[in-house]
Amino acid sequence: MKSRFEYTLVYSELVPEGATFNRYMDSYTKVLDGLGGKLCNDIKTRGAIPFVYLITTGGTEQALLDIRQQRRKHSPDEPVWIVAHPSYNSLPASLEVLARLQQDEEDGRIFYLQSSDDEEGLQQINTALDKTGSPELLSQTRIGLVGAPSDWLVASRPPRETVRNVWGPEVVDVSIDEINSAIQMVAADTIDPIREPLVTGATEVREPSTADLDNVIRVYLALKTVIRKHDLDALTVRCFDLVLSLQTTGCYGLAQLTDEGVIAGCEGDLVSTVGMVWVNKLLGKTPWMANPARLDEASNTLWLAHCTVPRGIVQDYGLRSHFESGMGVGIQGTLANEAVTLLRIGGKRMEKLWLAEGEIIQAGDAEDLCRTQAEIRLDDGKVGDLLKSPLGNHIIMVQGHHASALKSWHQTMIS
Q: State phi, psi for 99 to the nearest 5 degrees.
A: -60, -40
Nearest Cα residue to 160 out of 182, 175, 179, 145:
145
Residues 6+ apart with CB under 8 A from 247: 215, 327, 328
pLDDT surpassing 60 at residue 368: yes
343-360 mean pLDDT = 95
Specify the CATH number of the domain 136-413. Answer: 3.40.275.10
Buried b (16+ CB within 10 A) or exposed e, 294-326: bbeeeebbbbbbbbbbbbebbeebbbbbbbebe
Task: Express each pLDDT in 40-59 by its tens digit.
Answer: 877 766 556 789 999 999 99
The secondary element (H helix, E strand) that includes residue 192 is helix 192-200
Are 377 and 361 in contact by the 8 Å Cβ rule? The answer is yes
Residues in a beta bridge with 334? 316
C-alpha–C-alpha distance, residues 90 and 410, integer Å = 25
**How many CB atoms sit inside 10 A of residue 25's CB?**
21
Task: Express each pLDDT in 252-300 by its tens digit.
Answer: 999 999 999 999 999 999 999 999 999 998 888 999 999 999 999 999 9
C-alpha–C-alpha distance, residues 395 and 344, integer Å = 5
C-alpha–C-alpha distance, residues 162 and 160, integer Å = 5
- Judged by DSSP in three states, 393 sits in coil
For CA atoms 156, 158, 162, 163, give the dihedral sign.
positive
Buried b (16+ CB within 10 A) or exposed e, 362-388: ebbeeeebbbbbbbbebeebebeebee
What is the model's pLDDT at position 282? 84
pLDDT surpassing 70 at residue 243: no
The matching CATH number, chosen from 3.30.70, 3.30.390, 2.60.40, 3.40.50, for 5-130 is 3.40.50
pLDDT surpassing 80 at residue 119: yes
- Judged by DSSP in three states, 87 sits in coil
C-alpha–C-alpha distance, residues 49 and 31, integer Å = 18
107-127 mean pLDDT = 91
C-alpha–C-alpha distance, residues 244 and 373, integer Å = 25
C-alpha–C-alpha distance, residues 121 and 91, integer Å = 14
What is the model's pLDDT at position 106? 83
365-369 mean pLDDT = 95
pLDDT surpassing 60 at residue 4: yes
pTM of the model: 0.73
Task: Express each pLDDT in 130-181 by its tens digit.
Answer: 766 555 668 889 999 998 777 777 778 888 899 998 888 999 999 989 999 9
Could you state, in order of their start, the residue ranges of all structural domains in the chain? 5-130, 136-413
363-370 mean pLDDT = 95
Percent of the chain with pLDDT over 70: 95
Task: Express each pLDDT in 385-405 by its tens digit.
Answer: 999 999 999 999 999 999 988
What is the model's pLDDT at position 17? 81
Residues in a beta bridge with 145? 173, 236
C-alpha–C-alpha distance, residues 273 and 345, integer Å = 10
Average pLDDT, the chain: 91
Do the domains at 5-130 and 136-413 have one common CATH topology?
no
Look at the chain and count its residues.
Answer: 415
